[in-house]
């Protein structure tokens, strides 16, 4: 009987640790999602800027000639 009570208490401890790890993983997932969104947005702006520069150079090349 004492062994059964100890086993139940150990399971409770393990479940508490698992819950803590799950919360940490959830926070890391949110951080990853936020970082991925930021990098995708930054990449889009860089691509748009490069495209704008290419169009500007192309326009100026034919406007000057």
**Which residue reads 């326009």 in tokens?**
59
Alpha carbon distance 20, 31 (integer Å): 17
Query: Distance of alpha carbon 33 from its chain centroid, rounded?
Result: 3
What lies within 8 Å, CB to CB, of 43 at 6+ separation is none
Q: Would the pLDDT of 2 be above 70?
A: no
Q: Would the pLDDT of 8 be above 70?
A: no
The CA–CA distances, whole Å, from 56 to 31, 42, 43, 48, 61 equal 37, 21, 20, 12, 8
pTM: 0.63
Q: Which pLDDT tens digit goes with each residue over 18-40? A: 778 888 899 999 999 999 999 99
């Amino acid at each position: 009987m004492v062994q059964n009570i100890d086993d139940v208490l150990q399971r409770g401890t393990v479940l508490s640790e698992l819950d803590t790890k799950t919360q940490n993983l959830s926070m890391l997932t949110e951080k990853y999602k936020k970082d991925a969104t930021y990098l995708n947005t930054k990449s889009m702006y860089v691509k748009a800027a490069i495209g704008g520069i290419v169009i500007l150079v192309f326009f100026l090349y034919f406007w000057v000639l």
